[in-house]
A and B are shown apart, each in its own frame.
Chain A
Amino acid sequence: MRADSRSARIQVLVAEQAARRGAPVGVVDVCTAAVAALPVGGAGVSAMSRTAASHPLCSTDTISEQLEELQLTLGEGPCVDAFTHGAAVLSSDLLTGGLQDRWPVFADAALEAGARAVFALPLQIGAISPGVLDLYADVPTVLDAEQLADALAFADLATLLLLDARIDGTGAQAGAPPRDHGLEDLGGYRAEIDQATGILTVQLGVGIDEAFVRLRAHAYTQGRRLADVAADVVAHRLRFLPDSEPKRTDNGN
């Protein structure tokens, strides 16, 4: 990852929030860092799923908390749309643009709560979509290109942190290195990582989210780069097994 990259800079901002809190980096630090960096008053993250109940995970203030709960209770709002369509929903002013028609109950309730602009950014890596990052401002607000790019980078980091939080429970080894380890692969995108994730859904018989978590957990515990582990999986040099450790094979090409 280039040290001057956007994702690297965002990662530092989030790590600073965690250090201030004296805790390992978590999704809540993405929220506080986003509020500090962007022209918004609050931020919140909800865990969302197509098959299970959605629930709020964290928020920086009571307005954010209300916005998360409102949307999940009502089943409408920018965060619901962002999750459904897999694309950001940027509402710079809830009083305009027919938004009160689009979300008849939510728009009024959100205004009542004190929000005027709401931005919902889906947390996603292809078909993996564990939730949504919501930002709000109490005045009409347009994010410029740089701010929006930063907001998207905050959402990317929140995605990995949310998935990382599941690693402990999914076959990663005890004594795994502490958190914050895996974020280096934010900037190391390789198509093989996505292909390997798809391959693991078959080898392990699990859903796409868990396949990705298991792939990353293996890379951490072995102290290897995610892209290298993924390349081994794609080339059939490494095979994951449902009930035991991944096995190296020699039938690679």
Chain B
Amino acid sequence: MNQQLLAKTFVELADNLVADFDLIDFLRLLTDRCVSMLDASAAGLLLADGDGKLRVMAASDEEVRLLELFQLQNDEGPCLECFSTGAPVIVPDLTREADRWPRFVTAAHRSGFGAVQALPMRLRAETVGALNLFRAAPGPFDAPDTLIAQALADVATISLLQQRSTQRSTALNEQLQTALNSRVLIEQAKGKLAERQSIDMERAFTALRGYARAHNRRLSDVARAFIDDSEPLPGLVT
């Protein structure tokens, strides 16, 4: 682990937790940094809804197959186990777990992943979600890296609370629901932009996010304006 990169990343994350920050934008940054720092091929953050179902809040890549792999873990897989036990689940070699999670292991293998870990997003006594890291090559995870991954999962949890305090809400489950809804909004905007521009979901996401950043706007505000056709948004829509 590169100490300088680590320090730089945490400063960058703290810098982005400004007043009125956009949660989805922030969590995408966090998953991107997981990939660049932690020898991971892909990363995702999942949050539980009111039914205890895990839903994707952010991923290091928005391609459909990766989102599928996260969603599949509502039936079986390390994230589900991590969420229900509140403890980290570390799987250095997925091929050994084919009996435990047959569908998940097949899907992960098809996406080119050989190892996976899931770390809990904990809030006091409650587990609210999980950080999921995939790596192409099987093999043991470095213990220091796992500690850093847990620290990043904790930062993700803090960002949820930060969001909560800026919105004056007093109830955690209401705040989680608002966070989940902001993800739904992004998915709707991705679909609309992807269809209109004939681009894939990842490019649609980065275009929305790029527009928001270039114009110093919140991603969710841009997404809503785009869906509602309430503004021209030059440069986003050609």
Residues of A within 8 A of B (CB): 1-2, 5-7, 50, 85-88, 90, 124-128, 143, 145, 148-149, 152-153, 156, 187, 189-192, 194-199, 201-203, 207-208, 234-235
Contacts and interface: CB of A to CB of B under 8 A. Distances in A.
Interface in B82-135: none
A152 B228 contact: no
B50 A156 contact: yes
A195 B187 contact: yes
Contact of B171 (A90, A187, A197): A90
B184 interface: yes
Contact of B227 (A85, A187, A196, A208): A208
B171 A198 contact: no
A50 B229 CA distance: 12
The A interface is mostly helix, strand or loop, or mixed, namely helix
A202 B196 contact: yes
A194 B187 contact: yes
Interface stretch (B30-38, B51-59, B152-160): B51-59
Contacts of B227: 126-127, 198, 201, 208
B194 A190 contact: no
B53 A90 contact: no
B177 interface: yes
A189 B173 contact: no
B202 to A, nearest CB: 12
Given A125-B181, A149-B173, A199 B53 contact: no
10 nearest A-B residue pairs (beta carbon)? A198-B191, A194-B187, A126-B184, A195-B191, A198-B192, A126-B185, A202-B195, A198-B188, A199-B195, A5-B51
Interface of B: 49-53, 55-56, 64, 67, 71, 167, 169-174, 177-178, 181, 184-196, 201, 223-224, 227-228
Nearest to A1: B51
Contacts, number: 114
Contacts of B52: 5-6
Given A85-B167, A152-B174, A152-B177, A195 B50 contact: no
Nearest to B62: A191
A231 B49 CA distance: 21
29 contacts: A5-B52, A5-B53, A86-B181, A87-B174, A87-B178, A88-B171, A88-B177, A90-B171, A90-B174, A124-B181, A125-B184, A126-B187, A127-B223, A127-B228, A149-B50, A152-B173, A152-B177, A187-B51, A190-B71, A191-B56, A191-B67, A192-B64, A195-B187, A196-B191, A197-B191, A198-B188, A198-B193, A199-B191, A199-B192
Contacts of A124: 181
B188 to A, nearest CB: 4
Contacts of B185: 126-127
A35 to B, nearest CB: 20
Contacts of B178: 86-88
A2 B51 contact: yes
Contact of B191 (A2, A85, A152, A234): A234
A7 B172 contact: no
B198 to A, nearest CB: 10
B181 A126 contact: yes
Nearest to A85: B167
Contacts of A187: 51, 53
Contact of B188 (A143, A153, A190, A195): A195
A7 B192 contact: no
Contacts of A199: 191-192, 194-195
Nearest to A124: B181
B142 to A, nearest CB: 31
Nearest to B228: A127
Nearest to B225: A127
Contacts of A85: 167
A145 B178 CA distance: 15
Given A88-B169, A90-B171, A208 B188 contact: yes
Contacts of B190: 195, 198
Given A127-B185, A197-B188, A198-B193, 19 more contacts: A5-B53, A86-B181, A87-B169, A88-B177, A90-B170, A126-B187, A126-B188, A152-B50, A152-B177, A156-B50, A189-B53, A190-B71, A191-B55, A194-B184, A194-B188, A195-B188, A198-B190, A198-B192, A202-B195
